Amino acid sequence: MSEKIRVLLVKNFFEKDIEYIRARLLDSVEIIRPSEFTPETIAQAVKDNIHVVLGEPKTKAILDNASSLKLIQIPWTGVDRLNFDLLKQYPFLVCNSHSNARIVAEYAVAMMFAIAKRLAFHDRYLRRGKWCRPTQQGENLFFPPEPVYQKTIVIIGYGAIGRNIAEMLAGFSAKIIAIDVKPCNKTPQPLYKLLGPEKMPDAAAQADFLFTAVPLTEHTRGMINKNVFEKMKSTAYFINTSRGEVVVEEDLYNVLKNRRIAGAAIDTWYNYPKASSPDALPSLKFPFHELDNLVLSPHRAGFARGAMPHLDDAIENINRFAAGKELINIVDLNAGF
């Protein structure tokens, strides 16, 4: 494309985010920032020969006014908040970003080790002078670390994050089983098996460590529930860096409180801070924070010190669009991811 490519921000990015984006875009790309980020202002701004919107266009008026729009670029992975029924009415391509997949996978693996080795538990007690050694009297707080070597690891969702988790854990001589909706005639390395969703209960029953790495859709909402947890070994661990709503909240709490499984490590939750109340427990219904067989993480897996990896694919796609190249990470509006 020879004309200047105009990209409208429809989300109020931090200044450092905008600097990061601008520094990496082609000279032929111009960033347009509206005077304010209200739906009405954005609906007016999009009329001005806008080719790309960066962020989530939330109203029909914005899309109706976007006469020059070709691409809606979502600058993160999760697209569960998009109005798919609305977007299907327009010819715009919608893309998201998977460039933080590796650091999310790193975090998921780190959380696995944190709960398997009981790092947070021992840290809390040792700060009070308690070494949690074996005892025949009183409360027994001795929890020996769980080995990972040669264990069975099940990954539900074999997209970018799931593949990275598998690659990182392959060095532990683990038997890695993945569950995915996309069929494959040949099991890819380093997997032991790649199975369809109908095999998830059987796989869960084999798991020493069960990861979820699926997008939130109408099919995955609540897919990890009492039925899945009851299939798991009492010695198994559950790790979630997906979306909180993929896991039934009450079932997760009960399985941990009753020690039906050995423990869990969770990065995505059911209650989040708001501008008016920046402090918030991860659930309004259940006291997850009181459980000692749980590692709690504040939705931190997608971030990295000194980098903004979630933006890289978005920048790459805008540059591809400007250069007339094939786009990456096109969202299937019918599938919802």
- What domains are defined for the chain? 5-99+306-322 (3.40.50.720), 101-296 (3.40.50.720)
pTM for this prediction: 0.93
Contact 80, 331 (CB under 8 A): no
Q: Return the half-sphere exposure (C-beta side, CA atoms, 13 A cut-off) of residue 11.
A: 16
Alpha-carbon distance 57 to 38, whole Å? 11
| Mean pLDDT for the chain overall | 95
pLDDT at 182 over 90: no
Helices (H) and strands (E) in the chain, counts: 11, 12
Q: Strand 193-195 and strand 52-54: pairing?
A: unpaired
The answer, yes or no, to whether residue 274 has pLDDT greater than 90, is yes
Q: What span, in angstroms and rounded, lies between the C-alpha atoms of 28 and 43? A: 24
Both tokens of residue 82? 């998009």
Whole-angstrom distance, CA of residue 121 vs CA of residue 109: 18
Is the pLDDT reported for residue 136 higher than 80? no
Residue 139 has pLDDT above 80, yes or no: no
For residue 140, what pLDDT is reported? Answer: 79
User: Is 90 exceeded by the pLDDT of residue 137?
Assistant: no
**Count of C-beta atoms within a 10 Å radius of residue 84:** 18
Is the pLDDT at 1 greater than 60? The verdict is no
At residue 251, the pLDDT reads: 98
